[in-house]
Structure 1
């Protein structure tokens, strides 16, 4: 096993993976056009074992309190796996499997497996967190940075959430659900029938992000990119809506990006 860069191809689609740089999808090119913002911190990185911010970096597992490093003070953000080196378990022409073993500062042993599968018109990302030891709360999500502009008009976002999580001054959900508000956003939305968000670059490409999960964070406050982040729970969800990983039950999630030319 290694963590060298990987290239997958299917038709005129090409994906570049960087297992050694946080297990991220570093690029997605359709007929030579790059859809993802370039740079070591961008592309699309996995958010695991939590998504978004944990309030003050603190979470409980039963009665046991833990504190994660405050990498976005006063909070901890986006998990630990994006900062680690993943390893390649299997790679083919259009599919790769990469893994990451959870280590400190995360307090529980576990393994994350991510499957990256490319088709001519779609990319499917699947992730699982499993443990053979203590049970713990976890989240899975993805943080793609789609280029706002591909050389024509700026991208447009279209989605119909059932609600928006009210955002407090500390950027975390207050616990209240409100009617969806106009952007720009750094906000979490509920989509009980599954995440379904369309990114359209007028006259060029339409890309739809879907997931069976019910939560999506949309972040479009930066000029260069728009982010559509399906995830298994809201920000601070380790505290407010924990999903437990146990030796008998892993946590699994998937998202598909499907595109068509306009």
Structure 2
């Protein structure tokens, strides 16, 4: 670990930087250009200011536990418990907390090797989340691929609802394209909460591959193929290049956050949709539309995904 608290892993041309104190985040994923022109950023690198402030929103990716996306007004009921999650977005005055708990707490380093590392987190029960849980992340660079495994374990004496995922930020220079297969997209209201599920134009365009400059989205997709391809054109960063995001169950849902005019976008593998607990209680939707899991005491929910960069 460096003096700045950053862990650096390396294997072949790939370098991974981790920021355990900033929510167990990834701070950067770099590779060497094949033309010898220096390095390329496969994820948006953490800013100097973000690292100093330990701000997960300025990182390259951060973990999502014990839920993904938003919970309406921070209120939900499950198994006789009431969730009373306060607003938690440091940059917005939204009543809808998002991304869970793990991204806003420092993680412990449990193991560190040249090309791998393991982090952990323990969270006590509270009014915000009435179940104690533990979370773990394992990062490994193998044969030019970053593999990430994230787990959460129910440490409470009764059943707990659970969601899990990661929140990667990718560079968005002009000409960036994204292709992925999904079945439907959740339309949202002005507060980015889901309202209706549609097999719309965005689903078809993503299936064919779309220029991201043509999209303005912050939406959940269902029926995800658990694979996405990003293509970047030749530019000052290097020759034409691509990256494949592959996930395993239960990461069966996909979030695309593509704000216009920004130098980044987010393509997130997640296990449940926004506000899934309240929507499930309302009825009419099932696991295929909402996702989410229920963990019995001592049970573990685990998820893995990989990022495989390449040239051409």
| TM-score, normalised via structure 1 length | 0.91
* 1:198 matched residue in structure 2: 229
Question: Greater CA deviation, 112-121 or 172-181?
Answer: 172-181
Determine if the alignment matches structure 1 residue 124 to structure 2 residue 147: yes
CA distance in 2, matches of 1:180, 1:173: 17
Determine if the alignment matches structure 1 residue 186 to structure 2 residue 218: yes
CA distance in 1, matches of 2:86, 2:133: 19
More helix by share: 2
Aligned residues: 258
* 2:21 matched residue in structure 1: 20
* 1:90 matched residue in structure 2: 111
* Residue pair 1:139, 1:237 contacting (<8 A) in 2 also: no
- Is the alpha carbon distance of 1:108 and 1:232 closer, same or farther for their aligned partners in structure 2, counting shifts above 3 Å? same
Shift of 1:252: 1.1
CA distance in 2, matches of 1:57, 1:130: 22
Shift of 1:180: 4.5
* Residue pair 2:255, 2:269 contacting (<8 A) in 1 also: yes
Please list every run of 5 or more consecutive structure 1 residues that lacks an aligned counterpart in the other structure.
Answer: none
Q: Per the alignment, in what secondary structure is the counterpart of residue 73 of structure 2? A: helix
CA distance in 2, matches of 1:133, 1:258: 36
* Residue pair 1:132, 1:246 contacting (<8 A) in 2 also: no
Point out the structure with max Rg over C-alpha: 2
* Residue pair 1:4, 1:20 contacting (<8 A) in 2 also: yes
Determine if the alignment matches structure 1 residue 107 to structure 2 residue 130: yes
CA distance in 2, matches of 1:224, 1:18: 22
Please list every run of 5 or more consecutive structure 2 residues that lacks an aligned counterpart in the other structure.
Answer: 33-38, 51-56, 206-214, 235-239, 281-289
Give deviations 1:52-73, integer Å, cap 9, x for gaps.
1111111222232111011341
